[in-house]
Amino acid sequence: MSDEPVVIIGAGPAGLAAAWECIGRQLRPVVLEGSGMVGGIARTESYNDYLFDIGGHRFFSKIERVNRLWQEMLGPDLLRVPRLSRIYYQGKFFRYPLECVDALVKLGLLESLLIVVSYGRAQVRPSAVEETFEQWVSNRFGRRLYLTFFKTYTEKVWGIPCDEIRADWAAQRIKGLSLMVALANALFGNARSKSLIDAFDYPARGPGMMWQRFQEEIVAHGGTVRLQSEVIRVEHGKGLVSGVVLQEGGCLQTIAADHFISSVPITRLVQLLEPPPPAEVVVAARALSYRAFLIVGLIVKQADLFPDQWIYVHSPDVRVGRIQNFKNWSAAMVPDAYTTSIGMEYFCNTDDELWRMTDAELIALATAELAALGLAVPTDVTDGVVIRQPAAYPVYDRDYGQNLKTIKDYLTIFKNLQTIGRNGMHRYNNMDHSMQTGIMAVENIRGAAHDLWAVNDEEEYLEEGKAAGIGRSVLESILVQSFARMDKVAMATAIGSVCGLLVLAATLWISSRDPNPAASHLRLLAQYCIGYTVTVQGAFVGFAYFFFWGFLAGWLFAYLRNFFLAVYLFHLKKKSALLTVKDFFDHL
């Protein structure tokens, strides 16, 4: 292992994945974490032996490398959990992902009809402009369904109107399928997408169990994970980061290294740089914002409250956005089988009145809202705890793109500094995306040239170049040839030529071999082709007629084939696109 350390700031999924990749590549990682536990936003908090997941983290990825890593770390402690989640809207529970019959029956005939009409209008005449989240969703679902199921919950999460949220966020979080992938899924199936909807993996004692195992393995193999070590300065000069100054136990210490990887919020990184960045970079960093997150954990004296792992609350009458039932994620999350632990999730900003409420006030609010939704009786709530996460979700407001670009452009001057993870890149990445950026950052140290910003930006990065066991390039070649648009003129010319040549050849053969060609059956063609005779001259007349009719038949065949194929592909693409957003709210 190299004597020169790789300094990794932050011990979330991205930082720990980077550290573990360092171990495999004979680099010595030094992970610096300001808090007292690993896992970042994906940690597991404990209160009186009840375990609370910060937001609910499903372990599922199409990146096989990440899947294998999770399995290697936890093995049998990574449980397979059948999924059940629902939407609470207008006093009713709707199955989620949305099921057509269930939704239409509960919405009623008139509302269902209006939604269908609105959806049809969006497919025929979509908005030509797609700059905001509102336009993005309305183009795919219709405005009526957007207003019914998407607007209220999304604005609870982000705290700003949907027409101020950039469409970039939805496009980045929810990848649209290319036509090639839609065809591959139709022909070879899409079992992975189905398994994401139906079931997922989950550590027996919450996601923190995974990151604790990472910590143990990193330390056991010679790496270092230092908790309660807050980086207060990142020193640099001449385009290189020279070291970090950290505060640990009241003492300051400087760590020098050749390579640095940061997963702290990119806005915080800008503040840590010494000397400070140019003024425009500082201004851009201040303009970027994060949505905060509160989880109020309630202990309820009931063995079974509801069967879901989580419920999306779309009702504007309560402030809670999502409700977790941790016992249904894993029975080991609760110490007592006769009680249930509930996570009432609230989305806010750190300057909101909600964030400033005391723990007692928040527990009282959560208890009252749980009862208002008809999920528990207030007297059954025996205890509670409040967990606060100040920087949970990067906000995609109107100006975030330009502000982020200003910071990115500046950070490129540092040849030995890479930013990774959700907060480190101000990108709403999942755990697997974040881990992938950490792994790729270490590969860059060893000579690779990965663009970390392309992770979860390239449409099919998750497919890893394979579908149904066939190499991607080979599969695309087959599909392109099979579903290519047919050239009408070429097809018409080919069929016309074949038909004409057959008549020409048959006529010439009979006229040269038969002593009485006028008596042959071919003479009957004269009834359809005026001027045709079974002679050399008639052979060319017949060629002209049959080339003409063959040309028309070939052109019509190619036209109809192209038309029906276009209809089929349009249907297939729409169906596949809807599949990609079927799990929509899980991406929020």
d(CA 277, CA 287): 15
**Range of weakest confidence among 114-118, 420-424, 565-569:** 565-569
The domain 5-43+57-75+202-287+399-463 is classified under which CATH number: 3.40.190.10, 3.40.50.150, 3.50.50.60, 3.30.70.260? 3.50.50.60
- pLDDT given for residue 573 in this prediction: 67
pLDDT at 460 over 80: no
- pLDDT given for residue 458 in this prediction: 46
- pLDDT given for residue 185 in this prediction: 53
Choose among 235, 231, 257: nearest CA to 246: 231
- pLDDT given for residue 208 in this prediction: 97
pLDDT at 158 over 60: yes
- pLDDT given for residue 466 in this prediction: 40
Residue with tokens 């269930």: 102
d(CA 41, CA 53): 9
Once rounded to an integer, what is the mean pLDDT over residues 561-576? 76
- pLDDT given for residue 343 in this prediction: 97
Domain ranges (residues) in the chain: 5-43+57-75+202-287+399-463, 290-394, 488-574
Dig out the tokens for 144 from the structure.
Answer: 């009526």
CA distances from 178 to 128, 194, 460, 576 (A): 20, 18, 8, 9
- Rg value, the chain, Cα: 32
Choose among 200, 107, 64, 328: nearest CA to 586: 200
- pLDDT given for residue 438 in this prediction: 97
CATH class as words, domain 290-394:
alpha beta
Residue with tokens 């192209």: 562
**Range of weakest confidence among 183-187, 258-262, 410-414:** 183-187
Choose among 30, 26, 24: nearest CA to 1: 26
**pLDDT-based confidence at residue 124 (cuts at 50, 70, 90):** confident
pLDDT at 395 over 70: yes
**Range of weakest confidence among 23-32, 78-87, 322-331, 526-535:** 526-535
> Across the chain, what does the average pLDDT equal?
88
Once rounded to an integer, what is the mean pLDDT over residues 357-381? 97
pLDDT at 474 over 60: no
Helix or strand holding residue 21 (H, E) = helix 13-24
The residues, ordered by sequence, that sit 6+ positions from 130 with a Cβ below 8 Å of its Cβ are 136, 139, 167
- pLDDT given for residue 109 in this prediction: 87
488 or 419: which leads in pLDDT? 419
Once rounded to an integer, what is the mean pLDDT over residues 39-62? 93
pLDDT at 189 over 70: no
Once rounded to an integer, what is the mean pLDDT over residues 258-284? 97
- pLDDT given for residue 197 in this prediction: 62
**Cβ 197 vs Cβ 583: under 8 Å:** yes
In the chain, % of residues over pLDDT 90: 61
- pLDDT given for residue 578 in this prediction: 61
pLDDT at 160 over 80: yes
What phi and psi, each to the nearest 5 degrees, are found at residue 464?
A: 55, 35
In the chain, % of residues over pLDDT 70: 87
**Cβ 550 vs Cβ 500: under 8 Å:** yes
